[in-house]
Amino acid sequence: MKTNGIDQAKGFVDGKWSPATGTGKGRVSPWLLLAVLAVLVAGGWYGWRTWMAPKPAAKAPAAVVVSTAVVQQGDVPLQVSANGTVSALSTVEVRPQVSSTVRAVHIKEGQSVKPGDLLFTLDTRMDEANLAKSQAQLLRDQADLADARRTLARSQELLERNFISKSAVDTAQAKVDGFEATIRADQAAIEASRVAVSYGAIRATIAGRTGVINMFPGSLVTPTSALPLVTIAQIQPIAVTFTLPERQLAALREALHAGPVAVTAMPNDGSKTPVTGKISFVDNSVDPQYGSIRIKAQFENEEQRLWPGTYANVDAVVQTLKGALSVPPQAVVTGPEGRFVYVVQADNRVRPVPVKVQISTASAAVIDGVQPGARVVVEGAQNLRAGSLVREAPPAARGAASAPAAGAKP
């Protein structure tokens, strides 16, 4: 059908295509054609990239940065560590031996004293009076003895002339013997009075440091007082008491049999320098409840860094393992199948090697199962698997990583 030269059925005007006038089902939008073309291009590009484009080469796995150490063979000192309690080598509670009154205090609290130093003076007037009385009694009895001896001498002369009987001489001799015994009793009484007087001067029996003074001039003191006059603690030398497991007793006894066993203690004073002493006592029994034995070490304590009642970390070498294989303790890894170490092979890949740990200390683990000279991973093992590629950490990084551990105590 044509109207005014327009073919309305096909959208032609005078035989030419006119999109503006074309109507009906046969007309196609240019935007639709562009969309279809874009989809075809995108699909072709995706298919080419997926199936035909060359694949990029796979990247090699990155090497894990680790720190390593060489398995050493040699003598390994077995060092044990324990927490010890500092105690005075000897402690004396100063108490009076008689009931009396304090007349004077000659020391101050916290003062250092030596044996024989005067600490307290008690009231001894009654004892001094008894001493004077005993001395006077001795003088009187000595006079009586002298008279009895003169009488005995005269009686013996008269007996030689047959002026008196033998019994009279025996009576005179008995008087002399009696007075001699009385004089010995007087001398003993005088000595007892002197001892009583000496109780009034209380002196130090050991060298040490005084504690709190509990009695002052005018205080009545008795031997059964609840509080001592003062306490003296000997701190030069001083002792540190600690315990060790009973399994280490045999090694400790063997070490003591060979000679003195050195001990180092780290006082709780903030200093990084330990003090050195030696073991002086091993208890005669093991505590069955805890399976431990009590040990005591003695220190000269010239700088008085150890103080009674404080704690100190104690280290002692109780045994030396000859020709043992050792690695840093952090090189030993514990896994589901037991303990092992990562051994670095020639191609810088690691291989887990099972080991048996004989003993482990703060500085070394004595092991079996690896060859001396093998290189094992010390730091970075948590990131490794069998066959992992590794590379050694720079020296600066190793030093930074190990710096905190170097100052740590086990």
Could you read off the pLDDT of 14-31 as tens digits, one per residue? Answer: 555 455 444 445 556 777
Could you read off the pLDDT of 49-78 as tens digits, one per residue? Answer: 666 656 665 555 678 888 899 999 888 887
Q: 373-383 burial, b for 16+ CB within 10 Å, e for fewer?
A: ebbbbbbbbee
Q: Are 288 and 344 in contact (CB under 8 A)?
A: no
Residues 271-281 have a mean pLDDT of: 92
Q: Delimit the domains of the chain by residue range.
A: 2-52, 68-88+235-405, 97-231
The token pair at 286 is 């093991």
Superfamily of domain 68-88+235-405: Efflux pump adaptor protein, beta barrel domain (2.40.30.170)
- Distance between the two ends of the chain, CA-based, in angstroms? 107
Could you read off the pLDDT of 190-244 as tens digits, one per residue? Answer: 999 999 999 999 999 999 999 999 999 999 999 998 999 999 999 999 999 999 9
Q: Please provide the average confidence, as pLDDT, over all residues in the chain.
A: 85
Q: Are 324 and 78 in contact (CB under 8 A)?
A: no
Task: Specify the residue for token string 């003695």.
Answer: 298
Q: Are 318 and 82 in contact (CB under 8 A)?
A: no
Task: Quote the DSSP letter at residue 213.
Answer: -
Least confident of 156-170, 171-185, 339-353, 388-402: 388-402
User: Measured between alpha carbons, how far is residue 29 from residues 18, 19, 21, 39 in Å?
Assistant: 13, 9, 13, 16
Note the CATH architecture for domain 97-231: Orthogonal Bundle (1.10)
**Beta-sheet pairing, 12-13 with 365-368:** unpaired
Phi, psi of 338 (to 5 degrees): 120, -160
Provide the pLDDT for residue 55: 60
With a cut of 80, say whether residue 33 has pLDDT above it. Answer: no
Provide the pLDDT for residue 27: 59
Q: Are 307 and 235 in contact (CB under 8 A)?
A: yes
